[in-house]
Amino acid sequence: MELREIIDGCINGVPKAQRELYEKYAGLLMAICLRYSSHEAEDILQMSFVKIFGNIHKYKGEGSFEGWIKRITVNTAVTNYHKKNALKQAADIDDFHSELSDAQASTLSQMRADELLKLIEALADKYRVTFNLYAIEGYKHTEIAEMLGITEGTSKSQVSRARKMIQEQLERISQQEKAN
């Protein structure tokens, strides 16, 4: 079935089309959900799909469908984050600009996606969400600030701290590799 047929089927509530859409995108969206909350990923995925099916008639075919459903999933993950965390404005802004050392860069390039996911999972919620939105999803700091209800400076600070934490983890891993 072509994507357009699947979408039309979902608009008309055809179960086969809904199933096909799910099969096609569940893996991709699950990976996004895992990046935001590993232990609630399946809940977020479920909520995302219900939203997608409920609003699919609003998709007018402008822009990529994959981009549209990814955005819904990211928004659902962010909403979930809002529910779980009372957002507090971080007053401190310390932009951390540090490039990776050769050893860290080498470790990073050798790591598989699921290993990178573990690095992301190890971050605290607020750092994980801002890092995902900025580095992977490609949102700007102004957009992230609006989505999360924080200042642009806080968003920058949190991404920066997330990078620093990841870098520290990479350093530990590369040290272990050296020792072995």
Where on the chain is the footprint of other proteins (CB under 8 A)? 10-13, 15, 18-19, 22, 26-28, 30-31, 34-35, 39-43, 45-47, 49-50, 53-54, 57, 79-80, 82-86, 97, 99-100, 105, 108-109, 111-114, 116-117, 120, 134-136, 138, 163, 166-167
For the chain, the three-class secondary structure string (H helix, E strand, C coil) is CCHHHHHHHHHCCCHHHHHHHHHHHHHHHHHHHHHHCCCCHHHHHHHHHHHHHHHHHHCCCCCCHHHHHHHHHHHHHHHHHHHHCCCCCCCCCCCCCCCCCHHHHHHHHHCCHHHHHHHHHCCCHHHHHHHHHHHHCCCCHHHHHHHHCCCHHHHHHHHHHHHHHHHHHHHHHHHHHHHC
Q: Which C-beta is closer to other proteins: that of 58 or that of 179?
A: 58
Q: Which C-beta is closer to other proteins: that of 3 or that of 50?
A: 50
Q: Which C-beta is closer to other proteins: that of 97 or that of 178?
A: 97
To the nearest whole angstrom, how small is the minimum distance from the Cβ of residue 145 to other proteins? 17
